[in-house]
Structure 1
């Protein structure tokens, strides 16, 4: 699994780059992530029939805190 470990290390290094961090905290990243997270949350809510809406919303909000600027 050396190949997987190499990819993981490269990905971690890439994500720690200052320019990448700036991009992840940008307004554009916020707009895109909001649309993606909202779409995923809505799809999961539909599949689960509303049974876990509160948990889904909480997970969506936690993910949103990590990408974008809001």
Structure 2
């Protein structure tokens, strides 16, 4: 079993909290880099949320 499979199994049912953690980590990185890499951070956040699973009712944002 891969590490990602283990994470998905552990977070099952807690997608909302995981998403909030991803958002908080992205905000931290944005703060430390003064927003210099905001676009890349946002893209990474969305990819992580896709991998972990999105909470019910949360839609994937459209690509620019």
TM-score range normalised by the length of the shorter chain: 0.5 to 0.7
Tell me which structure has the larger Cα radius of gyration.
1
Indicate the structure with greater helix content.
1
Listed as ranges, the gaps of 5+ residues in structure 1 are 1-10
Q: How many residues align?
A: 52
Listed as ranges, the gaps of 5+ residues in structure 2 are 56-64
TM-score (norm 2): 0.65
Moved beyond 3 Å, runs of 4+ = none
TM-score (norm 1): 0.60
